[in-house]
Amino acid sequence: MVVSLSRRGEVEPFHAMDILAEANRLKAKGVPVVSMAVGQPSDPAPAGVRQAAANALKTGRIGYTDALGLAALREAIAQHYADHYGLDVPPSRIAVTTGSSAAFNLAFLAMFDPGDRVAIAAPGYPAYRNIMAALGIEIVEIELGGDAYLHAEHLKAAHREKKLKGVLFASPANPTGAVIPADELSALVRTAQEFGIAVISDEIYHRLAYVAPDTTALACGRDVTVINSFSKYYCMTGWRIGWMVLPEQLVRPVERIAQSLYISPPELSQIAAIEAFKATGELEAVKARYAWNRELLMKRLPELGFTLAAPMDGAFYAFCDVTRHTNDSMAFARRMLAEAHVAATPGRDFDPLQGHRTMRFSYAGSHGEMVEAMVRIERWLK
């Protein structure tokens, strides 16, 4: 029997998921693991979301929807932009997706051809790099060095070296938690548009900013593509539901590709997601816990010899330099899981060149879990 293997499958593994799998194996054996490895809220979806799903299951068939999503959900998302950002976003520019992962696939397929050069920041979310590599897109990783986020000058320098077709950035960012200030975001979008560089703004951690309000790239320019999700702020990771806001000329290409790749986003999740926008009180209470956890880690991690490598202004991550303890964060993460029973993500996921020096700790868990994790790590390091 002959098995054909594509080179697309040779992308780097997602090490956070490998660590999670090992943590789950230990938990199945009764080991009390504290997981700080994956960016997943520990709270369930809001009560109204769960009730809407239960009602939908009782009252009728769950089937296909339009490829761009239910009209009612697209209208609710448009209203969210009016309420939260003061922006008028027509529902016709919104595409509902099977999580933000599908949105990235659709954006890359609709916007870029093999060989096109697209800039991303390093450190950054590994799926950007892996999906684009599988699609034959040339990835231009801009090492941020001592900078917390991508600046307009970074983009200019990369474009002058060789022309870029696109740029993708996140604010708040994974793994650093850095938030791009409004004036810097405006300069970044303006520079991209001056050079004819297409913009994709990853905003899946919006509404999880602790120092200053989050700003959407839609406020900085009309012809940008924004990707968002119900996974993080709305505590709906397993529901696999997200959205895109698209320039008008991209709506139909994205729709055509989505029709063939996904048929439609899951209807049950779409029905439930409409209720998520009504759960602000419940969700802000969850965010308040993240803020408490953030303060704890900002104090305790440096005391334990983990230097904060970036400001923790948003999301729910602490990104640390671990060279005081190791020059191999992958091996260190595995030992910490096996011996201290605390899971965290090695930096190689986020930066292939410098990731051996760093680790990411998620503080999306409970107060008790975060306190216990710090106690275990301190004991282990002694």
Residue 51 lies inside a defined structural domain of this protein:
no
What percent of the chain is modeled with pLDDT above 70? Answer: 100
268 and 294 in a single domain? The answer is no
Q: What is the pLDDT of residues 337-370, one digit of tens each?
A: 999 999 999 999 999 999 999 999 999 999 999 9
Q: The pTM is what? A: 0.95
Over residues 5-42, the pLDDT tens digits come to: 888 888 887 888 888 899 999 999 999 999 999 899 99
Model confidence band, residue 187 (pLDDT cutoffs 50, 70, 90): very high
Tell me whether residue 52 is in a domain. Answer: no
For 148, the domain range is: 62-278
Alpha helices in the chain (DSSP H): 15-28, 47-59, 71-80, 99-111, 126-134, 152-161, 182-194, 248-261, 267-273, 280-303, 329-335, 367-381
Task: Give the per-residue pLDDT at 145.
Answer: 84
Same domain (yes/no): 187, 263: yes
CA max distance for the chain: 60
Residue 176 DSSP SS3: coil
Measured between alpha carbons, how far is 132 from 135 in angstroms, rounded to an integer? 5
Burial of 104 (0-12, 13-18, 19+ CB in 10 A): buried
184 burial level (CB within 10 Å; 0-12, 13-18, 19+): middle
* Same-domain check for residues 113 and 240: yes
Same domain, 40 and 68: no
Q: Answer whether 308's CB lies under 8 Å from 324's CB.
A: no
Say if residue 1's pLDDT is above 80: no
Q: Give residue 196's pLDDT band: very low, low, confident or very high (50, 70, 90).
A: very high
Query: Rounded to an integer, what distance in angstroms lies between the CA atom of residue 370 and that of residue 376?
Result: 10
User: Are residues 326 and 343 in contact, defined by beta-carbon separation less than 8 angstroms?
Assistant: no
The pLDDT, as a whole number, for residue 146 is 84
Q: Is residue 50 one of the residues assigned to a domain?
A: no
pLDDT given at position 260: 98
Residue 318 near residue 308, CB atoms below 8 Å: yes
Position 158 scores a pLDDT of: 97
For residue 101, tell me if it sits in a domain: yes
Please count the structural domains in the chain: 2
- Determine whether 47 is exposed, middle or buried from the number of CB atoms within 10 Å of its CB (0-12, 13-18, 19+): exposed
* Stronger pLDDT, 61 or 316, i.e. the higher one: 316
Looking at residue 60, its pLDDT comes to 84
For residue 85, being part of any structural domain is answered with yes
Condensed to tens digits (0 to 9), the pLDDT of residues 260-288 reads 999 999 999 999 999 999 999 999 999 99
**Does the residue 53 lie in any domain?**
no
Q: Region 239-254: what's the mean pLDDT?
A: 98
Q: Is the dihedral of CA 84, 85, 87, 92 positive or negative?
A: negative
